[in-house]
Structure 1
Amino acid sequence: MTDRERRHLILYAITSTQFALPFMLSGVAVALPAIGAEFQSGAVALSLVESTFIATTAMFLLPMGRYADLRGHAPLFIKGLCIFCVTTLLLALAPNMPVFILLRFVQGIGGAMTLSTGLAMLMNAYPREERGRALGIATAGVYLGLSAGPYLGGMLTSALGWRSVFYASLPLLLLALLFVLRLKRLGRNVVDEPFDRVGALLSALGIGLIVAGSAGFAHAAGKAALAAGIVFLAAFVFWELRHPAPLLDMRLLRRNRPFALGCIVQYINYAASFSVTFLMSLYLQCGRGISPYEAGAVLVVQPLVQAALSPLCGRLADKHPPHLIATAGMAVVTVALIMAAGFDAETSNTAFYAMLAILGLGIALFASPNATVIMGSVESRNFGVASAMTAGMRTTGMTTSMVLVSLALAHFMGHEAVSAQNFGQYLKVMHVLLTGFAVFSGIGVLLSLRGSLDRRPVPQEEDGKG
């Protein structure tokens, strides 16, 4: 097998997992009513189906990334993919809701193992001049999963039942596993350093409680969980600053400006843009009177543009400074958010489609170049941590975005469902949210620009094989 064929197999396997996780999140979300009806479960149990998966993935990203840096990226990726495949099959066979939620927890661990190692494997497999394109293709997988999930999940659930969503995901995952197992040279670089178990526990508890607390912030238990999560993260930082072999080397955040700013801007981008689809879905259905299926067909424009342009934008990051491309992407996202903030009941279809296309372009320009910034700003021994931080900031940003939307709707509209009758009130809430997101995104532009001005060279090493 040639090196080129080997790289292609790795790229396919990683892109498949980048697709599978968001598909499993967005596709299952559509199937939740059917799952609840079969298991006779209420809203709280159904909310746990999604929040358990998100929280578990977020909790284990950083510990898994660091463990992979110490013991090898590929072995952990394969184990994570095996766990994800097995739990996907078992979820399709789940007999009741408690078992289903437990399996989602285990599936989230498998997802964290693959997400925290995938980008690191790409960085090790590809030469520097081709890494941006590879990251762009992998990023396209994320957007395809997000866009295909609601459509395919709804279609499969309607035609074959909710269990078919999991069955349909298996062939892609098994093929990815087969491809990875075919590789002859799966390097296993073992670093003679202890694994920071205390740091792993503190970070997992802190992140898990913050994600869970944010999702349930409207209740007292959610506020308590959020506060406890902040305390655990503060303890984590205190511990890491004094540990000789920390889980997260704080020097990466204190002294490595491209890495620190890249992570911050990653979070800002997803926090500012992720909930636009949700807000526009309500806008179309309640203000324009179209069906959920028609709204989904319209909104798919944005992720399709992102998926189509991400490989090209990744290639641009190979040829030009990725900081500048990512900054341009943040600026374009800000323009799209400003456009959306001005929508009213009379907004033309042309303006709506233009906003979606511009938003898709902006995120495509941002995502893979910014991932190139983060991954390229560290030495190969920290690729796992950088990969985990890239995915972690994305997950945390998405969660923050939806939590802010939920809090705003609850504050301004109470428990009243959005409908054609109160669409005017919803528009006011939407304007406030999107204006705030546009301002937040503008701050991201400034931070990304500051990072682009820092041109200190990153230590150059030989490409690894981990």
Structure 2
Amino acid sequence: MKHWGKNVRGRLSSYSWYPWLVFFSVTTGTFMVNVDSSILNVALPVLGKTFEAPPHMVQWVITGYLLVITSILPVIGRLSDLKGRKYFFVSGVGLFTIGSVLTAFSPTLLWMVLFRIVQGVGGGMIMGNVMSIVADTFPRGKRGRPLGIIGSIVAAGTIAGPALGGMLIAAWGWRSIFWINVPIGLISVAASSILLAPPIRKGEAAEEGDAAQFDFIGGVVFFAAVTSLLLLISNGYQWGWMSGPGLLMLGIAAGGWGGFIWREWSTDNPLIDLSLFGNLRFTIGNITGFLSFILMMLPSILLPLFLDHVRHISISNIGLIMSVQAIAIIISSPLSGWVADRYGNAWPSIAGLSAAAAALGLMSRFGGGTSVMEVVLTLGLFGTGMGFFQSPNNVAVLESVPSSKTGLTGSLMATIRNFGRVTGVSLTVLLFQVGSAGQSSAAGYREGITFVFLIGLAIAVAAILLVTVGVGSAAGGRYQREVPDA
């Protein structure tokens, strides 16, 4: 089988379209992971009823998944650099597929969260390698198009998630949303096993040197810091902020982040190069990017609950409504890129955040009399704003570092993106509990939603001010200027 795969790969590699074959074999995994990150949003009301659990418990089905991906991404990226990407990618797709089967059989909410963590490990192994595999497969000068298409595939997966989830749940129940991953995963494993070239074998001494270069201590401390912080945000309201568990998680989080920063500054081979944050534009771009992904999770978590508990709309229709945000992002992202090329990255970013802020203000006024069309239009405005912000901001961050460090920067941006998403889920649930005062009535849901979206509006305004500071700090106002190699 091994030699057969090698022969097939050797024959196909002579064709000009071979890199695109590799591209589609690995991006099926990316599509699957992103579908799974959004498909559960519309399932939250159903899962709450099935397992008789409140929102702050059910949200761990999403939080646990994103938390694991965020915690292991830097580790996976570094290990894949040292040991080869094929092994980690193929293993990741296989593990994700197995996790999907296990999750579909979940007897309780606790088992479901545990199996979702298995999925998260596989998802992190996939996400940590796709961009690099594609970059390694295509020659220099021909990487821009495939790397750009990956962004569309991510958005397509995000779009498909809510709509597909709503239809599957309505037809076959919530367990069906995990079975859909199995055929996709099997195809990706088979294709990537054959098409991806194995890593170049190294001598034992070289492998020992590689192991010495990996910052195991930094990886463990990073995982502990992220996990404890998210546990505190997610459970502090129930525990009590000054309770024993709350103070314990606070201490671990504070010590973990302090220890991680010290470790990364003191080691010769850091997991994350913190010196990049000495660039103000880089720092502001990543902070605002982090805040934007927090904001994107607010309507994703709250509006399905609002549409179900307050407006009493069917799950299938909720899925279709929630897909509007992702569709708006796909449409607005290319337009924002064109505008940014002509006028710079800063002003499209500010315009996008302003539109998102306006949409959050409108969402804070949602109530029992809110029509579906109002929800659709507001979601469209919010998605358009996010799309206008994301592309220019990503370019601004990448162009603020030397081109020799764009690979490292891309990996760091992926980590920050996922950390923003998982923080957004936990923060949304926490603020909703505070705003609704624990009420499960329609009135309680309305009060909680209003409170959360007003906080979101404040976060959006803060992000706008940060981008404005970045504009003023850029030399000559050229916020998009590339920093040359040292």
TM-score (ref. length: structure 2): 0.78
Name which of 249, 254, 258 aligns with 1:225: 249
Contact 2:231 2:249 in 1 (8 A): yes
Superposed CA deviations along residues 5-24 of structure 1, whole A, max 9, x for unmatched, are: 24323433443333322322
Contact 1:207 1:229 in 2 (8 A): yes
Structure 2 partner of 1:396: 419
Structure 2 partner of 1:18: 30
Contact 2:325 2:383 in 1 (8 A): yes
Return structure 1 stretches of 4+ with deviation > 6 angstroms.
Answer: 33-38, 346-351
Superposed CA deviations along residues 32-53 of structure 1, whole A, max 9, x for unmatched, are: 6766777x67558745433322
SS in 2 for 1:409: helix
Counterpart-to-counterpart distance in 1, 2:398 and 2:191: 24
Structure 1 partner of 2:223: 204
Superposed CA deviations along residues 289-347 of structure 1, whole A, max 9, x for unmatched, are: 6555444433321212223554x369759x938x9347514522322322440454687
Superposed CA deviations along residues 251-299 of structure 1, whole A, max 9, x for unmatched, are: 2222x55544432232021123331344444565667665554444333
Is residue 333 from structure 1 mapped to residue 353 from structure 2 by the alignment? yes
Structure 2 partner of 1:443: 465
- Mapping of residues 55-70 of structure 1, within 5 Å: 55-70=67-82
Structure 1 partner of 2:341: 320
SS in 1 for 2:128: helix
Counterpart-to-counterpart distance in 1, 2:246 and 2:217: 25
SS in 2 for 1:105: helix
Which amino acid in structure 1 is aligned with residue 231 of structure 2? A
Question: Rg bigger for which structure?
Answer: 2
Larger CA deviation: 25-34 vs 14-23: 25-34
Superposed CA deviations along residues 355-403 of structure 1, whole A, max 9, x for unmatched, are: 43333233334434544555564666772x4343222212222233333
Name which of 406, 413, 418 aligns with 2:429: 406
Counterpart-to-counterpart distance in 2, 1:354 and 1:293: 19
Which amino acid in structure 1 is aligned with residue 154 of structure 2? V
Is residue 213 from structure 1 mapped to residue 232 from structure 2 by the alignment? yes
Of all paired residues, the percent bearing the same amino acid is 23
Q: Which structure's relative contact order is higher, taking Cα pairs within 8 Å and 6+ residues apart?
A: 1
Contact 2:162 2:323 in 1 (8 A): no
Structure 1 partner of 2:8: none
Name which of 137, 145, 162 aligns with 2:149: 137
Counterpart-to-counterpart distance in 1, 2:115 and 2:106: 8
SS in 2 for 1:415: coil
Deviation at 1:128, TM superposition (A): 6.3
Deviation at 1:232, TM superposition (A): 0.5
Counterpart-to-counterpart distance in 1, 2:341 and 2:198: 31
- Mapping of residues 32-111 of structure 1, within 5 Å: 42=53, 46-93=58-105, 100-111=112-123
Gap regions ≥5 residues in structure 1? 461-466
Counterpart-to-counterpart distance in 2, 1:251 and 1:301: 39
Contact 1:51 1:212 in 2 (8 A): no
- Mapping of residues 142-153 of structure 1, within 5 Å: 142-153=154-165
Is residue 165 from structure 1 mapped to residue 213 from structure 2 by the alignment? no
SS in 1 for 2:17: helix
TM-aligned CA distance change 1:126 to 1:264, over 3 Å = farther
TM-aligned CA distance change 1:282 to 1:158, over 3 Å = closer
Counterpart-to-counterpart distance in 2, 1:109 and 1:253: 28
Contact 1:240 1:247 in 2 (8 A): yes
Contact 2:362 2:378 in 1 (8 A): no
Larger CA deviation: 224-233 vs 368-377: 368-377
Counterpart-to-counterpart distance in 2, 1:148 and 1:106: 22
Counterpart-to-counterpart distance in 2, 1:175 and 1:413: 45
Superposed CA deviations along residues 97-156 of structure 1, whole A, max 9, x for unmatched, are: 665444322221121111122223334444666555434432233333333333322332
Contact 1:211 1:226 in 2 (8 A): no
TM-aligned CA distance change 1:145 to 1:239, over 3 Å = same
Contact 2:30 2:127 in 1 (8 A): yes
Counterpart-to-counterpart distance in 1, 2:36 and 2:444: 33
SS in 2 for 1:359: helix
Contact 1:117 1:387 in 2 (8 A): no
TM-aligned CA distance change 1:160 to 1:16, over 3 Å = same
Provide the aligned length of Structure 1 versus Structure 2.
Answer: 453
- Structure 1 vs Structure 2 CA RMSD: 3.8
Contact 2:225 2:257 in 1 (8 A): yes
Counterpart-to-counterpart distance in 2, 1:65 and 1:335: 34
Structure 2 partner of 1:274: 297
Is residue 429 from structure 1 mapped to residue 444 from structure 2 by the alignment? no
Counterpart-to-counterpart distance in 1, 2:393 and 2:144: 10
Structure 2 partner of 1:239: 263
Contact 1:258 1:374 in 2 (8 A): yes
- Mapping of residues 253-264 of structure 1, within 5 Å: 253-254=277-278, 256-257=279-280, 259-264=282-287
Superposed CA deviations along residues 388-431 of structure 1, whole A, max 9, x for unmatched, are: 32222122222333333333332332011351x46774575255
TM-aligned CA distance change 1:58 to 1:380, over 3 Å = same
Deviation at 1:444, TM superposition (A): 4.6
Larger CA deviation: 324-333 vs 15-24: 324-333
Which amino acid in structure 2 is aligned with residue 274 of structure 1? M
Deviation at 1:197, TM superposition (A): 0.9
TM-score (ref. length: structure 1): 0.81
Which amino acid in structure 2 is aligned with residue 64 of structure 1? I
